[in-house]
Amino acid sequence: MPQEYIDQFLRVGSNTDNARTRIAIEYSKQLPREAMLSFIQKTYHGGYGLKFGDTKVSAWYAEDGMHITYGDSARYARNAQILSWEDVANRIGQLLEEGQFATNVELAEMRSFEQKELAEKLNALNIHAETDCRSEKLGYKIREAQMQKIPYMLVIGDRDMENGTVSVRTRKGEDLGAMTPDEFIAKCLMEIATKSKEV
């Protein structure tokens, strides 16, 4: 199987929305190998087909890796080439390093993508959240949020992107430091539960 076919499946064939951006974000966090392999395996699922000229190629993502073969289906194909999840993760890493995996726009929007994902997660839990992806200076945005009496401001800086954390500030200007999104959510839910008991 030509490497260019395999690479194209890695770029577009995951069956997960915004997969390239999600993968680039996870690679930027420099996760332990096992965590990365688990993430890759969850991101690539089901089957996918592509056409290269008149040539049909299909892939099936299974427990043991990516099965790829010529034709309409790779799921039960005995002649399918199998790339282990380790091989898939290594190749994606190479493509990212070479600038051949994600577009410049996808890479540039990684931070705002993370912000929007976190806001959606918070809103789904009835914790009101908005993102501010304007190109204003951070200090200006923080002062503006404090004047609007927004209880918490979450900042996702370069270090936060790498560590999978958010930097939390209060409307009173207190810096609560870095915490994982799940830790922040737990903090909010605890505060909500405490306030509802007081009423």
Rg of the Cα atoms in the chain? 21
State pTM to two decimals. 0.74
Q: What is the pLDDT of residue 145?
A: 86
Cβ-contact 168, 153 below 8 angstroms: yes
For 150-183, write each residue's pLDDT tens digit: 899 998 887 888 788 899 998 888 889 999 989 9
Residues 96, 155: Cα–Cα separation, whole Å: 25
Phi, psi of 162 (to 5 degrees): -65, -40
* Mean pLDDT, the chain, whole residue set: 90
More confident residue, 94 or 162: 94
What are the chain's domains? 3-107 (no CATH), 109-198 (3.40.50.800)
Is the model's pLDDT at 199 over the cut of 60?
A: no
Percent of the chain beyond pLDDT 90? 54
Residues 53, 92: Cα–Cα separation, whole Å: 24
Q: What is the pLDDT of residue 37?
A: 94
Q: 59-63, 79-83, 155-159, 170-174: lowest mean pLDDT where? A: 155-159
